[in-house]
Amino acid sequence: MLDGNDMIVNLTTIPAFKEIEGIKICQMHPCDAEAVLDFIREHFAAGWIGEARYAMMQDPVRCFIAVENKRVVGFACYDATAKDYFGPIGVHPDMQGRGVGTQLMLKTLEAMRAYGYGYAVIGWVREAAPFYKKVLGAEYIKGGIPENSIYNRLISM
């Protein structure tokens, strides 16, 4: 059995997004796609590149980025793994602990809510589960292990 479980969050009860001084969090512009993909390639799992690329090709773009001093320091996507799925999300290791990931996540979830979703699935959650529970009130989906989820269609399964 693979480690991890899908979670679900009610988008009507998420905390409000708050600006972080010196950090711009915004919907990614298509012209920045290669810079964001390079950032993902350098710092995160190779599988996230395909998901992020898919999110970037949708209209509207379903990828949000965090930028500090004209440098990408984080990203978050939705509708990348499947419709109504949040993620992947990643923040540069040097930026962790400053609230960038939390605010990037909230901005992305606000976009999902504005798009019409009432809930969001957070797929294949492992060590971040306590964070999602604390910040969002997310709960595990019964039986939401990778083998029983959208991920069972992956070549590597």
Tell me the two tokens of residue 27: 């919907």
Strand partners, 65: 26, 75
What is the residue extent of each domain of the chain? 5-153
Mean pLDDT of all residues in the chain? 94
Closest by CA position to 61, among listed 91, 93, 92, 37: 37
Residue 2: predicted pLDDT: 59
**Confidence band for 48, pLDDT divided at 50, 70 and 90:** very high
pLDDT digits 0-9 by tens, 70-86: 999 999 999 999 999 99
CB atoms within 10 A of CB 153: 8
pLDDT digits 0-9 by tens, 94-140: 999 999 999 999 999 999 999 999 999 999 999 999 999 999 999 99
CATH for 5-153 (3.40.50.2000, 3.20.20.140, 2.40.50.140, 3.40.630.30)? 3.40.630.30
**Confidence band for 151, pLDDT divided at 50, 70 and 90:** confident
Q: Which residues contact 86 (CB under 8 A, 6 or more apart)?
A: 9, 76, 77, 78, 105, 108, 109, 112, 120, 121, 122, 123
DSSP symbol at 29: P
**Confidence band for 3, pLDDT divided at 50, 70 and 90:** confident
Residue 157: predicted pLDDT: 55
Q: How many CA atoms lie within 13 A of 39 on its CB side?
A: 22
